[in-house]
């Protein structure tokens, strides 16, 4: 068997290596190294992915098969396996359409299926797309129209379950679902295929197994066309093919053997799946369920009712099996992940059936689709409530190691009832407390740099006045920070500019505290974001004013803060970053909040900026920093408000420019507080 395995594995590995090499033509690799314009025609593959930059601008990308490519007017020899990632293409593009374009190329990662990334400068779409893509677009448009006036949780979760579209859910709900291990609900996987095939078998029966298997396979293919060939779907489909083939010939099948065959086939056909987190998580979760789920379920069933044993054992086995993969890209989890999956388990199948029914009926029978949305909406409310509630419990947002230990202890509680359980709970509590890294906000705080991820939100109180500068991205982080600081009244709220990572949390902050005065940038871009802020403030009955240089904020005994920027063309231009409000607050030896101004604006301020003890570094620690400005301010303490990102923030250059200062970073230290006696309170034991 070892010899046979080697005889298969070695040629297979060689085939994969040749396949990968052929997919990256030397001309394209050379084009990345030397630069230059790329022209050509590319056939769109799959569904366009919609994304939004932290500053609120939409962008679309999709993988494509080159029909022809020219680098600096020289044709590139292409293989059938060559793929390129098209970025910035029209969002209405459909699979099967051909994009004629001019663009620039950039390096793709070694783990990427695409040979290069192409940034579209200009392009036109040809053709109408595949029939299936047109149908899915019609379904998506109709379903979106029906969900327009539904609750936010339904707007986000129903498309996720029905179409595999995980971009509709709010950032707050997405974060809560990530923490509580519920994101598999909006990534179509084996669960969806099991439900669909189960319904087909229940309707058709098993009398004629070949016909039943064929109908099931057709249903699975139809589901894939509807939701797209996601990595988890590919794994589930290949495993289903093995199982359905066994059903067709009247043979039993082993789940482990079917899974191994599916993984091997997938890696041979598309070697890049071996590097896909989605594929690895799907395969790991399935392996955990089929290998550990059964024994754990049988053991638990001896002590608790069978349905309860199922609800606990299956998510526990899946979560434990996924831990090694999760550790590659995540550093936090929750001890309540198994509980969350157990309590939402009863609504998963009804939501899947109702969501798919609503989606398929929406273009043809909107009244029936509306009826199907009623039970779906009830299910999404339950999932939303569970995710948000458990994400706020102690034990959520802890390190992955702590969450794993806590989960094992909680599982033991479900199995044993003894004095040892009390000890286990105590150990779990100690581990979690030591692992959270969440800083306590002291009562004597004067400045709080809230940890809001990739965004910014700062609170200061001076001379009887509470000032807040920016409210972070769309999440509950800024609201939680305000509530944690014990603030019920914000006297002055400064919105430095209207990029989403600085204004997205506005609604939550307005819920947490009453706001008296709002100061905004004179640059009202992006227009959609500005209009959204206008509406939120209008709904809350809060007026606003435009800030200009020397706009003052007054405390009980005189001025306590003023606007230092923008001025000149920056105040009348269209660049939101250049027009960001820079605020100087007279507290803790002086605090200057730089928002997102760039190096050019910092140079313009360098001659007049006052020296200050504390600086909130510009643009989350981007490389666009002025050494002249840094030396003029000469802060003893520099804070960087930043979260997980793909922009390289904080950059090495930014850290070098402020190397003379003590630097604290929210992505490492969490919320950072300054007290009235000069202490720095954060989740860091030392500067970072």
The CATH number assigned to the domain holding 72 equals: 2.40.50.140
Domain assignment present for residue 234? The answer is no
pLDDT band at 502 (very low <50, low <70, confident <90, very high): very high
Largest separation between any pair of C-alpha atoms in the chain? 88
Structure tokens at 210: 């070949």
250 DSSP β-pair partners: none
Same domain, 409 and 530: no
pLDDT band at 12 (very low <50, low <70, confident <90, very high): low
Same domain, 652 and 530: yes
| Rounded (10°) angle between helices 209-227 and 152-163 | 130
Q: Which of 86, 109, 129 is the last residue of a domain?
A: 129
Same domain, 584 and 539: yes
Strand, helix or coil at 394? coil
Domain assignment present for residue 660? The answer is yes
Domain assignment present for residue 557? The answer is yes
What is the per-residue pLDDT for 58?
64
Q: Mean pLDDT, the chain, as a whole number?
A: 84
Domain assignment present for residue 638? The answer is yes
| 613, pLDDT greater than 90 | yes
Structure tokens at 496: 């430095």
Strand order in the sheet with 514-520: 545-546, 514-520, 489-495, 465-469, 458-462, 445-449, 672-675, 680-681
CB 437 within 8 A of CB 682: no
CA distance 35 to 104: 8
Render pLDDT for 617-663 as a digit per residue (tens, 0 to 9). Answer: 999 999 999 999 999 999 999 999 998 777 888 999 999 999 999 99
pTM over 0.75: no
What is the per-residue pLDDT for 388?
83
> Which residues, including other chains, have CB under 8 Å from residue 116's CB and lie 6 or more apart?
28, 29, 31, 32, 84, 85, 105, 106, 107, 108
What is the per-residue pLDDT for 576?
92
What is the per-residue pLDDT for 115?
82
Render pLDDT for 100-121 as a digit per residue (tens, 0 to 9). Answer: 999 888 877 777 778 888 889 9
Residue 44: phi and psi, rounded to 5, are -70, 135
CA distance 584 to 339: 47
Residue 387: phi and psi, rounded to 5, are -60, -50
Per the structure, the count of domains in the chain is 3
> Which residues, including other chains, have CB under 8 Å from residue 43's CB and lie 6 or more apart?
64, 65, 66, 67, 96, 97, 98, 99
CA distance 237 to 564: 59
Render pLDDT for 470-489 as a digit per residue (tens, 0 to 9). Answer: 999 888 789 989 998 999 99
Length, in residues, of the chain: 688
Domain assignment present for residue 484? The answer is yes
- Report cis status (omega within 30 of 0) of the bond before 566: yes
Q: Which range of residues forms the domain containing residue 304?
A: 276-335+394-430
What is the per-residue pLDDT for 354?
92
Q: Which of 430, 457, 475 is the last residue of a domain?
A: 430
Looking only at the bridges linking them, the beta strands covering 614-616 and 637-640 are: parallel
Return the minimum-mean-pLDDT range out of 107-116, 196-205, 282-291, 366-375.
Answer: 107-116
Beta-strand ranges (E) seen in 566-649 are: 582-585, 591-593, 614-616, 637-640
| 528, pLDDT greater than 70 | yes
pLDDT band at 277 (very low <50, low <70, confident <90, very high): confident
Under DSSP, the state recorded for 395 is T
Structure tokens at 56: 């609120």
Same domain, 464 and 417: no
Mean pLDDT of 659-687: 84
| 426, pLDDT greater than 80 | no
Same domain, 416 and 506: no
Same domain, 414 and 548: no
Domain assignment present for residue 592? The answer is yes
What is the per-residue pLDDT for 18?
59
SS (H, E, C) 231-256: HHHHHHHHHHHHHHHHHHCCCCCCHH
Same domain, 398 and 463: no
Return the CATH number at 599. Answer: 3.60.15.10
Same domain, 492 and 636: yes
Residue 286: phi and psi, rounded to 5, are -65, -40
Same domain, 300 and 407: yes
Same domain, 495 and 636: yes
Q: Which of the pair, 370 or 13, is modelled with greater confidence?
A: 370
Domain assignment present for residue 88? The answer is yes
What DSSP assignment string belongs to 125-138? EES---HHHHHHHH
Q: Which of 55-64, 106-115, 311-320, 502-511 has the highest mean pLDDT?
A: 502-511
Same domain, 558 and 474: yes
| 25, pLDDT greater than 80 | no
CA distance 388 to 480: 13
Render pLDDT for 176-226 as a digit per residue (tens, 0 to 9). Answer: 888 888 887 776 666 777 788 888 888 887 777 788 888 888 888 888 777
What is the per-residue pLDDT for 422?
40
Q: Which of 98, 129, 160 is the last residue of a domain?
A: 129
Same domain, 330 and 456: no
| 379, pLDDT greater than 50 | yes
Domain assignment present for residue 579? The answer is yes
pLDDT band at 419 (very low <50, low <70, confident <90, very high): very low
């Amino acid at each position: 068997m070892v010899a046979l395995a080697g005889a298969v594995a070695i040629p297979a590995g060689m085939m994969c290596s040749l396949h990968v090499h052929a997919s990256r033509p030397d001309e394209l690799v050379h084009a990345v190294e030397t630069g230059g314009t790329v022209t050509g025609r590319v056939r769109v593959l799959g569904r366009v992915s919609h994304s939004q930059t932290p500053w609120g601008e939409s962008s679309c990308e999709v993988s494509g098969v080159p029909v022809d490519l020219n680098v600096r007017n020289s044709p590139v020899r292409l293989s059938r396996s060559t793929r390129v990632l098209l970025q910035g293409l029209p969002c209405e593009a459909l699979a099967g359409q051909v994009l004629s374009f001019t663009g620039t190329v950039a390096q793709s990662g070694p783990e990427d299926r695409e040979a290069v990334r192409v940034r579209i400068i200009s392009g036109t779409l040809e053709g109408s797309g595949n029939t299936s893509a047109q149908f899915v677009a019609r379904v998506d448009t109709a379903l979106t129209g029906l969900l327009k006036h539904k609750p936010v949780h339904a707007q986000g979760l129903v498309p996720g379950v029905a179409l595999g579209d995980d971009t509709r859910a709010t950032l707050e709900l997405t974060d809560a679902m990530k923490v509580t291990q519920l994101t598999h609900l909006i990534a179509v996987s084996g669960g969806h295929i099991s439900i669909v095939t189960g319904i087909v078998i229940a309707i058709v029966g098993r009398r004629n197994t070949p016909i039943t298997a064929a109908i099931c396979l057709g249903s699975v293919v139809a589901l894939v066309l509807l939701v797209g060939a996601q990595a988890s779907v590919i794994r589930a489909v290949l495993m289903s093919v093995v199982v359905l083939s066994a059903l067709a010939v009247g043979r039993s099948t082993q789940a482990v053997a079917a899974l191994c065959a599916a993984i091997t086939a997938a890696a041979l056909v598309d070697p890049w799946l071996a590097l896909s987190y989605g594929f690895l998580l799907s395969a790991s979760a399935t392996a955990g369920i089929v290998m550990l789920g059964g024994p754990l379920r049988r053991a638990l069933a001896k002590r608790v009712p069978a349905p309860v044993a199922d609800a606990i054992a299956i998510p526990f086995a899946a979560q434990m099996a996924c831990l090694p993969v999760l550790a590659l890209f995540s550093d936090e989890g929750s001890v309540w992940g198994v509980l969350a999956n157990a309590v939402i388990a009863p609504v998963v199948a009804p939501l899947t059936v109702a969501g798919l029914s609503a989606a398929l009926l929406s273009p043809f029978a909107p009244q029936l689709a509306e009826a199907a949305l009623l039970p779906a909406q009830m299910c999404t409310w339950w999932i939303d409530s569970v995710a948000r509630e458990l994400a706020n419990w102690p034990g959520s947002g802890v390190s992955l190691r702590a969450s794993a230990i806590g989960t094992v202890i909680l599982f033991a509680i479900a199995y044993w009832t003894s004095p040892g359980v009390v000890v286990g709970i105590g150990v779990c509590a100690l581990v979690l407390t030591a692992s959270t890294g969440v800083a306590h906000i002291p009562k004597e705080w004067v400045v709080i740099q809230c940890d809001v991820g990739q965004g910014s939100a700062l609170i200061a109180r001076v001379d009887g006045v509470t000032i807040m500068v920016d409210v972070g991205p769309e999440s509950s982080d800024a609201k939680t920070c305000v509530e944690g600081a014990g603030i019920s009244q914000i006297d002055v709220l400064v919105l430095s500019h209207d990029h989403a990572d600085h204004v997205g949390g506005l609604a939550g902050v307005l819920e947490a505290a009453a706001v008296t005065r709002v100061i905004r940038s004179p640059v009202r871009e992006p227009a959609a974001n500005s209009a959204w802020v206008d509406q939120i403030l209008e709904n809350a009955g809060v007026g606003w004013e435009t800030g200009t240089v020397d706009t003052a904020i007054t405390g009980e005994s005189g001025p306590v803060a003023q606007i230092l920027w923008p001025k000149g063309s920056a105040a009348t231009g269209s660049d939101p970053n250049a027009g960001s409000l820079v605020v100087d607050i007279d507290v803790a030896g002086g605090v200057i909040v730089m928002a997102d101004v760039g190096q050019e604006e910092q140079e313009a301020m360098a001659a007049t900026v006052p020296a200050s003890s504390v600086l909130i570094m510009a643009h989350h620690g981007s490389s666009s920093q002025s050494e002249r400005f840094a030396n003029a301010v000469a802060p003893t303490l520099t804070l960087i408000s930043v979260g997980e990102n793909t922009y390289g923030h904080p950059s090495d250059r930014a850290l070098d420019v402020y190397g003379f200062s003590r630097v604290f970073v929210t992505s490492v230290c969490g919320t950072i507080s300054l007290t009235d006696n000069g202490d720095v309170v954060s989740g860091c034991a030392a500067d970072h």
